[in-house]
Amino acid sequence: MLYLPSAVIIHYEGRSSAQVPFVRHYHFQRSRLLLARLWYGSVFAKLFLTYLVLSYIWEILIESSKDLLGHRRDLRRQRIAVYAAVVSRLTDTVE
């Protein structure tokens, strides 16, 4: 091991998972749901899941509006697909 005081460490937060948006969104929200259940119980976790699902539906509506306006259609459709997939998978997370 070598000590080098001039060394600089750069942390690229989430860069590797940014390549797969579904994985990033799903695992982040799933972790939040599991922690909510652990800390506050299953009733709270189910309410939190409802909030997350409604938030993603809202984002889908926003992205759909932008798609209809013709703004970066490929990006909008990719995001809509990711958000819809996350909503679909998250609903299976909380029991």
User: pLDDT of 45-77, one tens digit each?
Assistant: 999 999 999 999 999 999 999 999 998 999 999
Q: Is the predicted pLDDT of residue 15 greater than 70, yes or no?
A: no
Using DSSP's 3-state secondary structure scheme, residue 17 falls into helix
Token pair 């939190």 is found at: 48
Other residues' Cβ atoms within 10 Å of the Cβ of residue 82: 21
- What's the confidence (pLDDT) of residue 8? 86
- Measured in residues, the chain has a length of 95
Q: Is the predicted pLDDT of residue 89 greater than 80, yes or no?
A: yes
Mean of pLDDT values over 79-92: 93
Its pTM stands at 0.76
Other residues' Cβ atoms within 10 Å of the Cβ of residue 86: 24
Q: Is the predicted pLDDT of residue 30 greater than 90, yes or no?
A: yes
